[in-house]
Amino acid sequence: MKSKSTNNDESQQDRYRDLGLPSRKTSPWFDNVAKLITKATGKPLTFIMAFTLIIVWGISGPLFDFSDTWQLVINTGTTIITFLMVFVIQQSQNKDTLALQLKLNELIASQKNASNRLIDIEDLTEKELEVLKKFYVKLSDLAEKEKDLYSTHSLDEATKVHNSKRQQPST
């Protein structure tokens, strides 16, 4: 008899397979390393260790007569760490952003009155986003004028109203 966690793992693997995704067990190595480094560097102990290293380096200055080599050690070390961390942080940021976008897409897609055109909004240009922002500011102004907290206006609703106005005969 299989344990409950084994069955749960298998059902999750089935969901990945149904979506055409690789199983979680075959996750790329950089993703795993980045996750590990991100978690480790975000802990207070890591900050304390880095801060302690800087203090020890500063205190050791007189021992090395504040030489160029003494300064080069800390400059080189911090530059290399910073350079590598940029890539690790960017990878984690990209993954988190994508996951957040997918969650928001699911919320939009699951709402009956929501505009599905907003699902891939992250692919729009900055100029297109500004146009949409102006639209939503107008919607906010309408809601404020109505003094109705539960009044809603969507992009699709506005389009329907616009189209109905265009179809009305001119007087």
Three-state secondary-structure class, residue 120: coil
Q: Mutual orientation of helices 155-167 and 126-146 as an angle, nearest 10°?
A: 80
Residue 121 — very low, low, confident or very high, per pLDDT cuts 50/70/90?
confident
Lowest-pLDDT range of 2-16, 40-54, 72-86: 2-16
| Of the candidates 110, 103, 117, the residue with the CA atom closest to the CA atom of residue 158 | 117
Is 165's pLDDT higher than 80?
no
The owner of tokens 């961390």 is 85
The owner of tokens 């907003």 is 118
Angle at 85 between CA 83 and CA 90, to 5 degrees: 110
Is 27's pLDDT higher than 80?
no
What is the per-residue pLDDT for 21? 65
What is the Cα–Cα distance from 88 to 31, expressed in whole angstroms?
9
What is the per-residue pLDDT for 70? 94
Is 5's pLDDT higher than 60?
no
Query: What's the whole-number average pLDDT of the chain?
Result: 81
